[in-house]
Amino acid sequence: MREIHSSVTVMCIQVTYQLKILTTAILSVIMLRKQLTGLQWVSLVLLFFGVAAVNVQANAQSSSSTIASQAVGGATEIVTTRRPMSAVVQRPIVGFIAVVTACCLSGFAGVYFEKILKSTPQSIYVRNIQLGVVGMVLGLGAVYVTDGQKVSAHGFFFGYDIAVWSVIMLHAFGGIVIAVVVKYADNILKGFASSAAIIISCIVSMYVFDFELSMLFLIGATLVIIATYMYSRFVPKPASTPKQPEPVDLLSNSNKTTGQKQFMSIKGV
C-alpha cells in the first residue's frame, strides 16, 4: 500500500510539473515580447494534457511492474523481517506550491538563457563552457560532501565503463543541441521536441523493455501530435507595413511649372 501511495504521489508531481510548458510560454511573451495566436495557446494546453497523459501511463506501468516483481520475489518475508517505517505526513498544498514554483523557475531559467544567447555576441560554445564550469564546480562540491571517503579510497573515475562514458557523451552532445535549438528557435519549440522525445522513448521501450502501451498513452500521443501541428500551422501573421508615398521629383515639377509659364507668356504675347 505504501508503494502504491508513493507511486501516485510521483505521478501527481510529474503531471503538475508539466505546467512548465505554459509558464515558459507566458514568460516568453513577457520577457521576449513573443507573439502567440489564440490557437497556439490552445495547442500548448493540448500539449500539456498530452505529455501529462503519457507520463501517467509510463509511471503506472513502472509502478505496476515493481509491485509485481516484489510479489513474485517474496515481499511478505521482507515486510515481516524489517522494522515498520513511520508514515510520512503528506501536505498536498505545500507540495503543489513547490511544484508550481519549480515550474516558474524552470521557465524563467530557460527564457533568460534564450535572451542571453540571442542578445549577446558570444557564441554558443562560449556560453556552454561558462555554464559548464559553474555546474562542474557545484557538482564536485556535492560529490566530495556526499561521497568524499569513497572517492578518496577508490579514485574519482572508479566504476566508469563504456556505458557510463556513453551516457556522459550523450548528455554533453544533448546540451549543445539544446543550446542550438534555443538560439535559433525558442524554448517553446524545445518543449515540443522534449514531448516528442518522451513518446519516442516510450515506443522504443516497447521493444527493449517490454513496455505495454495503453489507451491513455495513445490519447496522449495523439494530443501531442495535434498540438505540434496546430502550433506550427497557426503562426502569427507578420504585421503589414504601410505603403511609403512615392517620392516626388521636385526638380521635374519645377521644370514643368517653368515651361508652362514660358508657354503661357509666349501665347499671351
Does the pTM surpass 0.75? The reply is: no
- Label residue 216 by pLDDT band (50, 70, 90): confident
In the prediction, which pLDDT does 269 show? 46
Compute the distance between CA of residue 221 and CA of residue 199 in angstroms, rounded to an integer: 7
Residue 142: is its pLDDT beyond 70?
Answer: yes
Give pLDDT tens digits for 50-70.
Answer: 888 877 766 555 555 544 444
In the prediction, which pLDDT does 19 show? 83
Handedness of CA 115, 119, 123, 126 (dihedral sign): negative
In the prediction, which pLDDT does 94 show? 81
Compute the distance between CA of residue 157 and CA of residue 200 in angstroms, rounded to an integer: 32
Compute the distance between CA of residue 214 and CA of residue 81 in angstroms, rounded to an integer: 37
Give the residue with greater pLDDT, 21 vs 252: 21
Give pLDDT tens digits for 152-200.
Answer: 888 888 888 899 999 999 888 888 888 888 888 888 888 888 888 877 8
What does DSSP assign to residue 90? P
Q: Is 48 exposed, middle or buried (CB count within 10 Å of its CB: 0-12, 13-18, 19+)?
A: buried
Q: Do 224 and 54 contact (CB within 8 A), yes or no?
A: yes
Of 78, 59, 62, 60, which is closest to residue 70 (Cα–Cα)? 78
How many helices (DSSP H) and strands (DSSP E) are in the chain? 10, 0
In the prediction, which pLDDT does 162 show? 92
Contacts of 58 (CB under 8 A, 6+ apart): 198, 202, 211, 217
Could you tell me the residue ranges of all domains in the chain?
2-120+187-238
Locus of grid cell 562514458: 165
Give pLDDT tens digits for 70-104.
Answer: 444 444 444 444 445 555 666 778 888 888 898 88
Q: Is 249 helix (H, G, I), strand (E, B) or coil?
A: coil
Locus of grid cell 563552457: 129
Give pLDDT tens digits for 193-209.
Answer: 888 887 788 788 788 87
Give pLDDT tens digits for 220-256.
Answer: 888 888 888 888 887 777 765 555 555 555 445 555 5
Tally of CB atoms within 10 A around 103: 19
Phi-psi category of residue 159: left, alpha or beta, with phi > 0 → left and psi -120 to 50 → alpha: left
In the prediction, which pLDDT does 51 show? 83
